[in-house]
């Protein structure tokens, strides 16, 4: 299997991305079936964007 060809690398990356999206959807359905947690203004993302 020659991985030096750009089109072959592109195909592998597309397959990998599709696999990761399917796995993410499966994980969210199986392990986190309830609604997401509430947004808090004390979280790290809010702190970072407030100071940028």
Q: What is the DSSP track for 25-52?
A: HHHHHHH--SPPPPP-TTSHHHHHHHT-
Task: Give me the mean pLDDT over the 19-46 stretch.
Answer: 83
43 found inside a domain? yes
1 found inside a domain? no
16 found inside a domain? yes
Of 22 and 33, more confident: 22
- Its pTM stands at 0.56
Domain count along the chain: 1
pLDDT band at 48 (very low <50, low <70, confident <90, very high): confident
Distance of alpha carbon 46 from alpha carbon 48, whole angstroms: 6
The pLDDT score that the predictor gives to residue 12 is 93
Structural domain including 35 reads 6-50
CA-only gyration radius of the chain, Å = 19
């Amino acid at each position: 299997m020659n991985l030096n060809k750009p089109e072959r690398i592109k195909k592998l990356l597309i397959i990998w991305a599709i696999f990761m999206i399917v796995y993410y959807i499966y994980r969210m359905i199986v392990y986190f079936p309830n609604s997401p947690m509430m947004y808090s203004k004390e979280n790290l993302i809010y702190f970072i964007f407030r100071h940028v």
